[in-house]
């Protein structure tokens, strides 16, 4: 039997997790897979899964190569937090690195400060394209926080009886 359940209160937190990991490139795959596993119970479509993985990969890579200047030091830490409010995912990726002087310019598609590292300047553009909402907060010398939101599992408001 299928019943339509009431739209969940979007303010109430229904799940939460937090991880901290070393700012080394091996952890890029770890981070996006952790988020993918976290949202699996929401039955995301393949498309939604790919969207989230790409966006997380972009933000984490930025923390590692820009925030921590690609040092690859185990002392440099990336913090990743995920919150579910009903079917809305909120992911926050935080580094305590160099920060961004001009966020608006940094978010321009094709802008990169590191063409020497073969960056293409598409990271923020991909995050914006694949998530519903993106908030960037940064302070030079203190670090950067990137918050992204996405509604998952477009049919999840129809719950089938277990």
Ligand X SMILES: Nc1ncnc2c1ncn2[C@@H]1O[C@H](COP(=O)(O)OP(=O)(O)OP(=O)(O)O)[C@@H](O)[C@H]1O
- The one catalytic residue among 28, 48, 58, 92: 58
Supply the minimum distance, in Å, between the C-beta of residue 111 and ligand X: 6
Query: Which CB, 42 or 52, lies closer to other proteins?
Result: 52
Of 68, 84, 83, 88, give the one whose Cα is nearest residue 25: 68
Q: Which residues pair with 92 in a beta bridge?
A: 81, 147
Task: State yes or no: residue 67 binds Mg ion (CB under 5 A).
Answer: no
Give the ranges where the chain is alpha helix by DSSP (H). Answer: 27-39, 46-62, 103-106, 123-130
Catalytic residue among 27, 28, 48, 62, which? 62
27 binds Mg ion (CB under 5 A): no
Site for ligand X in 15-34 (CB under 6 A): none
CB count within 10 Å of CB 145 equals 19
For the chain, how far is it from start to end, CA to CA, in angstroms?
A: 9
Structure token digits, residue 46: 């393949």
Contacts with other proteins by CB under 8 A lie at: 25-26, 28-29, 47, 50, 53-54, 57-58, 61, 64-65, 110, 117-123, 125-126, 129
Contacts with ligand X by CB under 6 A lie at: 58, 62-63, 66-67, 95, 97-100, 106, 111-114, 119-124, 144
């Amino acid at each position: 039997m299928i019943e339509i359940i009431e739209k969940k209160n979007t303010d109430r937190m229904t799940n939460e997790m937090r991880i901290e990991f070393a700012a080394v490139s091996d952890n890029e795959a770890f981070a996006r897979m952790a988020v993918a596993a976290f949202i699996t119970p929401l039955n995301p479509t393949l498309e939604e899964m790919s969207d989230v993985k790409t966006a997380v990969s972009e933000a984490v890579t930025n923390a590692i190569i820009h925030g921590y200047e690609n040092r690859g030091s185990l002392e440099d830490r990336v913090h990743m937090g995920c919150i579910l409010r009903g079917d809305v995912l909120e992911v926050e990726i935080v580094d305590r690195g160099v920060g961004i002087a001009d966020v608006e310019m940094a978010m321009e598609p094709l802008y990169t400060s590191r063409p020497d590292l073969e960056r293409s300047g598409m990271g923020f553009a991909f995050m914006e394209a694949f998530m519903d909402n993106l908030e960037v907060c940064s302070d030079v010398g203190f670090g950067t926080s990137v918050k992204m939101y996405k509604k998952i599992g477009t049919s999840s408001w129809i719950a089938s009886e277990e």
